[in-house]
Amino acid sequence: MSTQEEKIRRPADEVEENDLRIDQERSEQIIDALNTDLANAYVLYHQLKKHHWDVEGAEFRDLHLFFEEAYETVEEGADVIAERAQALGGVPVAGPANQEERATVEFEGEDVYDIRTSLENDLEMYGDIIESMRDHIELAGNLGDYATEQILRDILVDIEEDAHHIEHYLEDDTLVLEEATH
């Protein structure tokens, strides 16, 4: 047995009792949902970060800054989700491989797309995350974990706001003129 295995304080798949007085069975269900939200957040984070690096064109500056704000918002929400899972007696899903395996959304890949396609891919992922979070908000409320319900509601507001901004970027009205084709 390696030294690392000898020093494990709590296996990642175990849920301990918590001081929040939410029983273990309910905590397990909520932690499972939170870990899905956490994994999804990090897949979205990495895709937004990629687009922040790759964006080009006339709207570069605005989009570059938007992507930065968006991935920072996602990371802040992910941190709150991870801390809540830990408070409930769980172990937040960590590490890229574990997060990718756990996520219900899929990273678009390494290829660089035109910015409209990138934004469409982001909006699709945001939509999937929003639907999943709404289900988890309902789950937490039904299980009597009103704090987790509120935490997820607050994060959902930020996620929906960024998705709405992407909708605006994807509109066809623009100040950038297309070159006339002859």
User: Predicted confidence band at 8 (pLDDT cuts at 50, 70, 90)?
Assistant: confident
**pLDDT value at residue 172:** 85
Instruction: At 59, list the tokens.
Output: 């709207």
Query: For residue 6, is it within any domain?
Result: no
Query: For residue 2, is it within any domain?
Result: no
Domain residue limits at 24: 20-105+112-169
Query: For residue 179, is it within any domain?
Result: no
Question: What is the average per-residue pLDDT within 137-159?
Answer: 98
Query: For residue 12, is it within any domain?
Result: no
Could you tell me the CATH number of the domain that includes residue 87?
Answer: 1.20.1260.10
| Domain count within the chain | 1
For the entire predicted model, the pTM comes to: 0.90
User: Predicted confidence band at 108 (pLDDT cuts at 50, 70, 90)?
Assistant: very high
Query: 122 CB contacts (<8 Å, ≥6 apart)?
Result: 44, 47, 48, 51, 166
Query: For residue 50, is it within any domain?
Result: yes
Query: For residue 15, is it within any domain?
Result: no
pLDDT tens digits for 34-50?
Answer: 999 999 999 999 999 99
Query: For residue 155, is it within any domain?
Result: yes
**pLDDT value at residue 10:** 81
Query: For residue 54, is it within any domain?
Result: yes
Higher pLDDT, 32 or 176: 32
**80, 151 contact by CB (below 8 A):** yes
Cα separation, 78 vs 42, in Å, equals 7
As a whole number of angstroms, the longest Cα–Cα distance in the chain is: 72
Query: Given a cut of 70, is residue 52 above it in pLDDT?
Result: yes
Query: Given a cut of 90, is residue 58 above it in pLDDT?
Result: no
